[in-house]
Chains A and B, each alone.
Chain A
Amino acid sequence: MGIQGMELCAMAVVVLLFIAVLKQFGILEPISMEDSSDSELELSTVRHQPEGLDQLQAQTKFTKKELQSLYRGFKNECPTGLVDEDTFKLIYSQFFPQGDASTYAHFLFNAFDADGNGAIHFEDFVVGLSILLRGTVHEKLKWAFNLYDINKDGYITKEEMLAIMKSIYDMMGRHTYPILREDAPAEHVERFFQKMDRNKDGVVTIEEFLETCQKDENIMSSMQLFENVI
């Protein structure tokens, strides 16, 4: 019995080795799964060139020199001409190392990515910056509303606001003084809605938003804060 068992084993081993040899010769195709390495969209092979300098100058309120300087910095960081969301998150998180800036970066990315193709190219970048730095207060407020309105339906709901607020608080991180309470974002959202929501219908429309903000002096003054960035 044992002898036959061993013979069987020997035969099995021989057969296996034979198959291995055949595989080497390519006669027997292996039954392996499809390799999935090369079908994903690789941004590194895709390159994007921005529109001409003159067109950009027409679209934005930057001078030629400013555009040049902006593009140089942009191109240095992203030689392909495109910023994808992960890079964006990485960059942003380096400015706020103590907290988790990824959620807010995600919202910001969506706000900048005007055509929603998943990557910011230079035109988006510079158009957004133009609004933020050279636009009127009205435009800035509209941009902020766009940021808060996650699904871009024209209304800021409480959930959207809560998400935004949470992401901002996340950026701060856990180790603040005084320690932020767990419900601080919710409270903040409540206060915001109290201020903004005129007709108490649970959503904030663009008109309510603009109206309230224009009446608030703090907000108006703070909108001018970052004008000297470039």
Chain B
Amino acid sequence: MAAGVAAWLPFARAAAIGWMPVANCPMPLAPADKNKRQDELIVLNVSGRRFQTWRTTLERYPDTLLGSTEKEFFFNEDTKEYFFDRDPEVFRCVLNFYRTGKLHYPRYECISAYDDELAFYGILPEIIGDCCYEEYKDRKRENAERLMDDNDSENNQESMPSLSFRQTMWRAFENPHTSTLALVFYYVTGFFIAVSVITNVVETVPCGTVPGSKELPCGERYSVAFFCLDTACVMIFTVEYLLRLFAAPSRYRFIRSVMSIIDVVAIMPYYIGLVMTNNEDVSGAFVTLRVFRVFRIFKFSRHSQGLRILGYTLKSCASELGFLLFSLTMAIIIFATVMFYAEKGSSASKFTSIPASFWYTIVTMTTLGYGDMVPKTIAGKIFGSICSLSGVLVIALPVPVIVSNFSRIYHQNQRADKRRAQKKARLARIRVAKTGSSNAYLHSKRNGLLNEALELTGTPEEEHMGKTTSLIESQHHHLLHCLEKTTMSMKEVGDGLQDQMNCMMGALQELKLLQVQTALEQLEISGGGPAPGSPEGPGTQLERPCWEGGRGSARPTVCSPASQPSLGSSTKFPSHRSVCGRDLAPLPRTQPHQSYVQQGSELVEPDDWTSTLMSRGRNRQPLVLGDNVFADLVGNWLDLPELEKSGEKGETGRAREPKGEKGQPQELGRRFALTANIFKKFLRSVRPDRDRLLKEKPGWVTPVVPEPRTGRSQKVKKRSHSKGSGHFPFPGTAEHRRGENLPTGGPKTLEPSPSGFDINTAVWV
């Protein structure tokens, strides 16, 4: 029952007295209205803005937060009001819902924020009033589409490590930007399509006369050359079709798809022509078959996003097109009939029958007006003019619908592409901002841990690291401590948990070390405290399975028990020892690699950049499980392999570690990646900024990996930009745009580097 009607219930009950005198039997007892209190005002303080309403207003909807006793959880005894730390603007709408019974959706509000608020207050969005429901649904649909787009693009970028050859091939066909070979194939086929189409066209141009005979078209004059060209094109198309057929995940579905039919139709005429050579009877049909060669031009739709959008639009506007066709047909028949009868009397009239008048009507309605059929009588002229006027209207009406559809879909696509292209740069900037802001957080955490360790061990520590920490922080640090202790003791028992911990810690280590870098620079801490300048193998650090057990000043105490188990399982956690103290010798980098292989982790951790980064110094940061920091860290960590193929990473690892692991399937990939890199170097433009930056901070660059690193970063750049350009309608301009984007991309991404380390490496974090 609606809240409004509930207000009338007392009245209805009172009016029931009218039944009493006619009632046959005694009435049941009335329910006792216990808890009868005067209606009181309650104050709802939403982020400082006070709303007041009657209690009964809120109790109209008892299944929501405000209407039930759930709001008691938010009651503030001191101020005798209900405090909600939420958005007051949306709360206004929510409260109006209680007051009027109608929920409205404000247009200026973001749809996901609004949804969140509604979910918090326990209100279903379905009860949004009719006035605002359409808008809400539209926005929600847009949002969902955008999310789906983003998810799709992310899925496309994931490098699934265990793709079979067939799957890689299919991916290469569908998305040419995944590998260089695919890109080459893409352009080659595009070129041959163009050649084939041009050949077909030029074939029919008259090419000058052979003396003694009439003018020949080029196709007959240079028939051999044209035949060879045609053969070559068909060969390429056939090979392409067979390869696609082989690689398709569902062959049956592929055969039925439109593009495959176009492919078949494009190459069939050639083979049929080969089969039936010079047979006079069917040569007519053979000539007709050549018409189908023009379908090759549709193969361009694989290369052009705009064509695909056009086709999709036409498909989605099928009803409008159908209506257009139908109304045109109706009008044509009507006017043809009228014209025929109007012109019947006129002598030598061209309007010999109604179908003959169809031609006149069509030509007139589309305002072509060839003039080969012209009415001569007055009536004919009158009706003819009406016909041409109405033709304009009939055609003009459905066309804007189609146009707007096309425009909407096209713009949506453009936006999606732009979003994808900007995403990388945006994420990089966001990461930089976040690392800058979480610096202080981590710093304070580090101090907090130190203080805690101080309390534990009583070891005197450097003064400047001592900082008063809040109760919450100290409790947090204690919690982390407990967690570490827990997992340490369980190390031998649960490897699964261990792996999880390692994964998390690996991720945290990355960002932590980045922070350390900047923190070091900011605080100018030199060789003391938690930032030892020990140039230990940083490659040991950020392996995923890397396990760090020590912390801060508790190094001496914590390290020894930690190192013992590590020594016990040295093959598993060799990095542990190195982590655990500057007095321990840095392990050779190969060892972590081997251990890494032994653990059999899937995604190879690229430790080249980490090694350079860590060479400046390392801090044994504990688990820094901040609120957002952790999520960011893991997110950043997971982002790492998004653009990399395992081959690439393996390639870099290989370059540094000649005696590193040799995964059998990785070798091929590595070699291939090497060639790809060389190829890319040709395409790449010089990046002076990057080199300069590298030169500025020589400590970062280990002697082994300038090239592959730049290679990878270049690849990052190139990929991120070519992605945006790949969807250009005209493939010719794609490269041009890519070229121009690279130099602009360079300085753009190198700009926001406040913390002083290379943005490119930060991206990979």
Contact = CB atoms under 8 A, between A and B. Distances in A.
Interface in A93-140: 94-95, 108, 111, 125, 129, 132-133, 140
Contact of B26 (A9, A76, A218): A218
Interface stretch (A18-26, A31-39, A49-57, A220-228): A220-228
Contacts of B5: 91, 94-95
A111 B18 contact: yes
A108 B378 CA distance: 74
A9 B382 CA distance: 10
Interface string B8-34: 111111111111111111110010110
Do most interface residues of chain A lie in helix, strand or loop, or is the interface mixed?
helix
A213 interface: yes
B397 interface: no
Contacts of A164: 22
A225 B31 CA distance: 10
A229 interface: yes
Contacts of A141: 21
Contact of A91 (B8, B16, B341, B342): B8
Interface in B233-249: none
B17 A223 contact: yes
B2 interface: yes
Contacts of B524: none
A85 to B, nearest CB: 15
Interface residues of B, number: 43
A100 B684 CA distance: 82
A125 B4 CA distance: 17
A219 B17 contact: no
B21 A76 contact: no
Interface in A67-89: 69, 72-74, 76-77
B732 interface: no
A129 B30 CA distance: 18
Contact of B341 (A6, A144, A147, A219): A6
A10 interface: yes
Interface string A147-163: 11000000000000100
A225 B30 contact: yes
Interface size class of A (residues with CB under 8 A): 35 or more
B1 interface: yes
Contacts of B39: 69
A2 B345 CA distance: 8
A8 B413 CA distance: 57
B38 interface: yes
A7 interface: yes
Contacts of B344: 2-3, 6
A14 B382 contact: yes
Do most interface residues of chain B lie in helix, strand or loop, or is the interface mixed?
helix
Contacts of A221: 26-27
A174 B342 CA distance: 68
A219 B39 CA distance: 32
Contacts of B386: 13, 17
A133 B14 contact: yes
A230 interface: yes
A132 B20 contact: no
Nearest to A70: B10
B341 A132 contact: no
A2 to B, nearest CB: 6
Given A3-B345, A10-B383, A229 B20 contact: no
A10 to B, nearest CB: 4
Contacts of B11: 125, 129
A206 B759 CA distance: 96
B377 interface: yes
Contacts of B378: 7, 10
A65 interface: yes
A105 B306 CA distance: 65
B113 interface: no
A168 interface: yes
Contacts of B25: 218
Interface in A176-194: 188, 191-192
Contact of A6 (B9, B27, B379): B379
A223 B20 contact: yes
A209 B39 CA distance: 39
A214 B17 CA distance: 15
Nearest to A216: B21
A125 B17 CA distance: 15
B7 interface: yes
A203 interface: no
A13 B338 CA distance: 12
Contacts of A10: 342, 378-379, 382-383
Given A143-B18, A230-B10, 7 more contacts: A6-B379, A10-B383, A77-B7, A148-B21, A209-B21, A218-B27, A222-B27
22 contacts: A2-B345, A6-B345, A9-B379, A10-B342, A10-B378, A13-B382, A69-B39, A74-B7, A76-B4, A76-B7, A77-B8, A91-B5, A92-B12, A129-B11, A129-B14, A141-B21, A143-B17, A144-B18, A161-B22, A219-B20, A225-B16, A228-B30
Interface of A: 2-3, 6-7, 9-10, 13-14, 17, 65, 69, 72-74, 76-77, 91-92, 94-95, 108, 111, 125, 129, 132-133, 140-141, 143-144, 147-148, 161, 164-165, 168, 188, 191-192, 209, 213, 218-219, 221-223, 225-226, 228-230
**Nearest 4 A/B pairs, CB to CB:** A3-B345, A10-B379, A73-B7, A132-B14
Interface of B: 1-2, 4-5, 7-27, 30, 32-33, 36, 38-39, 54, 99, 341-342, 344-345, 377-379, 382-383, 386
